[in-house]
Chains A and B, each alone.
Chain A
Amino acid sequence: MIGKCAFLRIAALFFLLGVAFSCKKENMSEEISQALHAVKLQVPVNFPPVMEHVENPLTKEGIELGRMLFYDVRLSGNNKISCASCHRQDLAFSDGTALTKVGVSDRALTRHAPVLFNLAWAENGLFWDGGSKNLESQALGPLTSADEMFQDLNVLEQELKADPDYVKRFGIVFKDGVRSVNVIKALSQFQRTLISGTSKYDQYKRSEPGASLTESELLGMNLVNTKCKACHRGELFTDNEYHNNGIDATFNDDHEGIYQGRFRVTFNPLDLGKFKTPSLRNVLVTAPYMHDGRFKTIDEVLDHYQSGIKISPTTDQLLYQNQGQVGIPLTQKERQAIIAFLGTLTDHEFITNKKISNPHE
């Protein structure tokens, strides 16, 4: 009876899978063909589960195509810059510049280039104010923006179609071959594989052989846990939410509301001056800091939280850590411990991993 029941269960399960599959198939814009190899993200055991994007399923071939595109200067209008020009692997895919002028127009941007890692968990908006809902749509921003890559998408398709290797690769990954819509899909696939979870902290957290933190690093970890983690939450060290951390007191509507942050996306007055929480992972290699890169060093950031917070109606209540007053008091020893701990979040394996580096070199 038990055996029979198990058999029935298995049969039912197959039946169920069949139903689920036929259902999904109708909704999926791309079916995985036989030449493609489906990829499941390697999620570190201490990380939360990851959401799958059924509309753009990860494949080995799609990820590799995305990697080639990410590092290809043909993606820009002047064929001089690639995504990697502002997202350098050695800097955890940031650029080390407050407001870069590397774009086609030579004009400084109004936003600091963000880091690119653990994007498979970034499901609450991209850009500093969350104006894009997914990596696919997001990619069109820098690709076409006059001050960034300034690419004409028609021209991009022509340029890629002139390269037989790309034609072949696009043909394998996507039914309809070289199209700008497939460029953004491939870029997204590659970016979802940029997982940073092999820092010294991760090794300690996963109790890997030989992994340990020093006394100062442990003190720093406890301080971060109690004072910073409400926003820099969990193993991702970000809540992927929007906060006003008090770097400005007023938020005028100059430059299409660039200083208004999340407000210009939601139009909710409670979101005025709120920006997305960046992860603390790799933070020591991703200076400068904040949405406009105004703080040059981690010390300046700590100075801000200790004594530089400006008050406005939306300043986050979590910053009132000084007996009801705004600010996060820290002793010199505590500051050193925090910085020591932040150092354990630098993922040397990630920033040197050849599998995600420039394939054209």
Chain B
Amino acid sequence: MKKLLSIIGLSALLFTSCSKDKDAVTLQGEGKVTLTMDAVFGNQDFALNKDFKSSGITYNFNKFRYWLSNVVLVSATGQEVKISGSYYLMEETGEIKLTGVNNDLPTTIYPATKRENVVLKEIPAGNYKSIKFSVGIDQKYNDNMSLQSGELSQLNGMTNVSWMWLTSYIFTSAAGKVSDGTTTKNMLLETGLNANYKTIALDLPKSLNVSASESASIVVNADLSKVADGIDVMTNPVVGASKATVMAAVANNYATKVFTVKSVN
């Protein structure tokens, strides 16, 4: 009889662990929210191949890409609405020659792309006070690239299969040139270690009202002038896994400085 009780107890446990997942995901409802991640440099609009100055350094970018993941909207009452499968590749980039290119087939070129918008669907109608999202890929998916969710893919050059032999995703990548007026260097600031995965929670300046009839939107600024904040980019223009400490600093900038809410409608 004891065994029977323990079996029932165990199944009760299993039930709990099952339903737990579902608590966070409440996707019944009608509303849609457009989330715009607007790239800026300080108070200027961001653009590729354009000079931006900050603290005596001139930046000129040809690529800005990052994984936006695990988006959560928090209702006025504190209920969290998790957007399932929310793995989005946000980017503004020129043509990219993909790793493993060895011929002239057009598939080996990733085309120039600008992508700032994400549509969050099936959001329960109501009022929302804050948004949470992560930059990078959580460990479960980062450690196993055969698991699929959202836009996760090995085919877009945001995986890192030869970089230090850490087979995982590249979380953020900002590339171009930096100059201090006398020297110009190639810049590549990347993150991608599990420790670099950061979750950002931003309060909305006013309530986000989601309903079936009206469209709602959030605009978040992604400020590239903050990516290398506190980092001597002339000394460390290339940041990757062999520079874990500097990489951690870049990841912290994404976590604490790069993103701010611009507007809610």
- Say what secondary structure dominates the interface of chain A: helix
Number of interface residues of A (CB under 8 A): 51
Pairs A-B, 5 closest by C-beta atoms: A136-B146, A131-B165, A154-B107, A144-B100, A77-B102
Known contacts A9-B3, A55-B147, A134-B143; is-contact A256 B242 (Cβ 8 Å): yes
Contacting chain B: which of A16-24, A223-231, A326-334, A348-356?
Answer: A16-24
Residues of B within 8 A of A144 (CB): 99-100, 161-162
Asked whether, in the complex, the Cβ of A12 is within 8 Å of the Cβ of B4, the reply is yes
Interface string of B146-168 (1 = CB under 8 A from A): 11100000110001011011111
Task: List 22 interface pairs A-B (beta carbons < 8 Å), by A numbering.
Answer: A9-B4, A9-B7, A12-B7, A16-B7, A19-B18, A20-B14, A26-B18, A55-B144, A55-B147, A77-B100, A131-B166, A136-B144, A140-B161, A141-B162, A143-B161, A145-B100, A152-B98, A152-B102, A153-B100, A153-B154, A180-B155, A264-B241
B212 is an interface residue with CB less than 8 A from chain A: no
Which residue of the partner chain A has the closest CB to B99?
Answer: A144
Supplied contacts A137-B146, A143-B161, A152-B105, 20 more A-B pairs, CB within 8 Å: A5-B4, A9-B4, A12-B8, A12-B11, A55-B144, A77-B103, A104-B102, A131-B165, A133-B167, A136-B146, A138-B167, A152-B98, A152-B102, A154-B98, A155-B108, A180-B155, A181-B148, A253-B242, A256-B164, A265-B164
A201 is an interface residue with CB less than 8 A from chain B: no
Residues of B within 8 A of A185 (CB): 146
Asked whether, in the complex, the Cβ of B107 is within 8 Å of the Cβ of A152, the reply is yes
**Distance of A354 Cα from B206 Cα, bound (Å):** 69
**Interface of chain B residues 65 through 122 with chain A (CB within 8 A):** 98-103, 105, 107-108
| B244: min CB distance to chain A, Å | 4
A244 is an interface residue with CB less than 8 A from chain B: no
Residues of A within 8 A of B154 (CB): 140, 153, 180-181
**Distance of A155 Cα from B105 Cα, bound (Å):** 8
A15 is an interface residue with CB less than 8 A from chain B: yes
A289 is an interface residue with CB less than 8 A from chain B: no
Residues of A within 8 A of B214 (CB): none
**Distance of A181 Cα from B146 Cα, bound (Å):** 5
Interface string of B177-188 (1 = CB under 8 A from A): 000000000000
**Distance of A148 Cα from B238 Cα, bound (Å):** 25
| B152: min CB distance to chain A, Å | 9
Asked whether, in the complex, the Cβ of B102 is within 8 Å of the Cβ of A154, the reply is no
**Distance of A185 Cα from B148 Cα, bound (Å):** 12
Residues of B within 8 A of A265 (CB): 164-166
Residues of A within 8 A of B105 (CB): 152, 154-155, 158
A47 is an interface residue with CB less than 8 A from chain B: no
Residues of B within 8 A of A15 (CB): 11
A308 is an interface residue with CB less than 8 A from chain B: no
Residues of B within 8 A of A140 (CB): 145, 154, 159, 161, 167
| B70: min CB distance to chain A, Å | 16
**Distance of A78 Cα from B144 Cα, bound (Å):** 27
A129 is an interface residue with CB less than 8 A from chain B: yes
- B contacts, CB < 8 Å to A: 1, 3-4, 7-8, 10-11, 14-15, 17-18, 21, 98-103, 105, 107-108, 143-148, 154-155, 159, 161-162, 164-168, 241-242, 244
Residues of B within 8 A of A104 (CB): 102
A146 is an interface residue with CB less than 8 A from chain B: yes
Residues of A within 8 A of B147 (CB): 29, 55
Known contacts A12-B7, A131-B167, A264-B241; is-contact A184 B102 (Cβ 8 Å): no
Known contacts A136-B146, A264-B164; is-contact A155 B4 (Cβ 8 Å): no
**Interface of chain A residues 1 through 51 with chain B (CB within 8 A):** 5, 8-9, 12-13, 15-16, 19-20, 22-23, 26, 29
Residues of B within 8 A of A253 (CB): 242
**Distance of A267 Cα from B194 Cα, bound (Å):** 12
**Interface of chain A residues 178 through 195 with chain B (CB within 8 A):** 180-181, 184-185, 188
A132 is an interface residue with CB less than 8 A from chain B: yes
Q: Among B3, B103, B105, B166, find the residue whose CB has the most chain A CB atoms closer than 10 A.
A: B166
A257 is an interface residue with CB less than 8 A from chain B: yes
Which residue of the partner chain A has the closest CB to B12?
Answer: A19
A196 is an interface residue with CB less than 8 A from chain B: no
Asked whether, in the complex, the Cβ of A152 is within 8 Å of the Cβ of B103, the reply is yes
**Distance of A12 Cα from B147 Cα, bound (Å):** 33
Residues of B within 8 A of A153 (CB): 100, 154-155
Which residue of the partner chain B has the closest CB to A23?
Answer: B18
Asked whether, in the complex, the Cβ of B165 is within 8 Å of the Cβ of A134, the reply is no
**Distance of A141 Cα from B154 Cα, bound (Å):** 11
**Interface of chain A residues 290 through 321 with chain B (CB within 8 A):** none
Residues of B within 8 A of A26 (CB): 18, 21
Known contacts A144-B99, A265-B164; is-contact A56 B143 (Cβ 8 Å): no
Residues of B within 8 A of A181 (CB): 145-146, 148, 154
Asked whether, in the complex, the Cβ of A137 is within 8 Å of the Cβ of B107, the reply is no
| B166: min CB distance to chain A, Å | 4
| B22: min CB distance to chain A, Å | 9
